[in-house]
Structure 1
Amino acid sequence: MSTLAARRRRPVDFWPGFVDALSSLLMVLVFLLLVFTIGQFVLSDALSGRDKALARLNAELAQLAEVLSMEREAKAGALRQVEELSASLASASSERDALRLRLDETSAALTQTQAQLESSQGEVARLVADIAALSELKQQLEAEIASRLADLEQTREKLTVQTELSAKSAAQVELLNRQMAALRQQLDEISAALELQRAASKAKDQQIEDLGRQLNLALADKVNELARYRSNFFGKLREILGNRDDIVVVGDRFVVPSELLFPSGSDELGPEGRRQLDRIAQTLREVTAEIPSSIDWVLRIDGHTDRRPINTPRFPSNWELSSARAIAIVKHLVTAGIPPKHLAANGFGQFQPLDPGDSEAALARNRRIEIQLTNR
Structure 2
Amino acid sequence: MARLHRSRGNGLDIWPGYVDALSTLLMVTIFVLLVFVLAEAFLSVALSGSNKTIATLRGEIAQLSNVLALEKSKTASLQDELASMASLMKAKQAASAAALSGQVKLNAREVSTVALLDQQIAALRLQLASLAAALDAAAAQDAADHVQIADLGKQLNEALARKVARLQQYRSEFFGDLRKALAGEKNIKIVGDRFVFESDVLFPSDSAQLSDAGTQEIADVAAAIEKIAPKIPPHLNWVLSVGGYADKEAVKGGKYKDNFDLSAARALSVLHLLIADGVAKNRVIATGYGAAHPISTGDAPADLAKNRRIEFRLTSAD
Tell me the TM-score range normalised by the shorter chain: 0.5 to 0.7
Distance 1:195 1:336, change over 3 A: same
Distance 1:144 1:205, change over 3 A: farther
Alignment match, 2:289: 348
* Aligned-residue offset at 1:202: 2.2
Alignment match, 1:334: 275
Alignment match, 1:325: 266
Alignment match, 1:260: 201
* Aligned-residue offset at 1:208: 2.0
The aligned amino acid for 1:205 is H
Alignment match, 2:243: 302
* Aligned residue among 151, 171, 192 for 1:251: 192
CA–CA separation in structure 2 for the residues paired with 1:371 and 1:319:
18
Task: Compute the TM-score of the two structures, normalised by the length of structure 1.
Answer: 0.47
The aligned amino acid for 1:207 is Q
3-state SS of 2:210 partner: coil
User: 1:221-262 CA deviation, whole Å, 9 max, x = no partner?
Assistant: 112211221121112111111144432222222111112222
Distance 1:198 1:326, change over 3 A: closer
* Aligned-residue offset at 1:198: 4.9
Distance 1:367 1:201, change over 3 A: closer
Equivalent residue pairs, number: 196
Alignment match, 1:271: 212
3-state SS of 2:147 partner: helix
* Aligned residue among 158, 165, 170 for 1:224: 165
CA–CA separation in structure 1 for the residues paired with 2:132 and 2:304:
70
CA–CA separation in structure 2 for the residues paired with 1:349 and 1:331:
19
Structure 1: 5+ residue stretches without partners: 1-142, 150-182
Task: Within 5 Å, give how 1:1-376 maps onto structure 2.
Answer: 146=122, 198-199=139-140, 201-376=142-317
CA–CA separation in structure 1 for the residues paired with 2:197 and 2:157:
33
CA–CA separation in structure 1 for the residues paired with 2:313 and 2:257:
27
* Aligned-residue offset at 1:329: 0.8
* Aligned-residue offset at 1:145: 12
Larger Rg: 2
* Aligned-residue offset at 1:370: 0.4
User: 1:201-221 CA deviation, whole Å, 9 max, x = no partner?
Assistant: 423321221121111111121
Structure 2: 5+ residue stretches without partners: 1-118
What is the Cα-based RMSD across aligned positions, in Å?
2.9
Distance 1:362 1:191, change over 3 A: closer
Tell me the percent identity: 40
CA–CA separation in structure 2 for the residues paired with 1:145 and 1:267:
75
Q: In 1, are the aligned partners of 2:246 and 2:309 still within 8 Å (CA)?
A: yes
The aligned amino acid for 1:318 is N
Q: In 1, are the aligned partners of 2:243 and 2:310 still within 8 Å (CA)?
A: yes
Task: Compute the TM-score of the two structures, normalised by the length of structure 2.
Answer: 0.55
CA–CA separation in structure 2 for the residues paired with 1:268 and 1:201:
57
Distance 1:146 1:306, change over 3 A: closer
Q: In 1, are the aligned partners of 2:206 and 2:254 still within 8 Å (CA)?
A: no
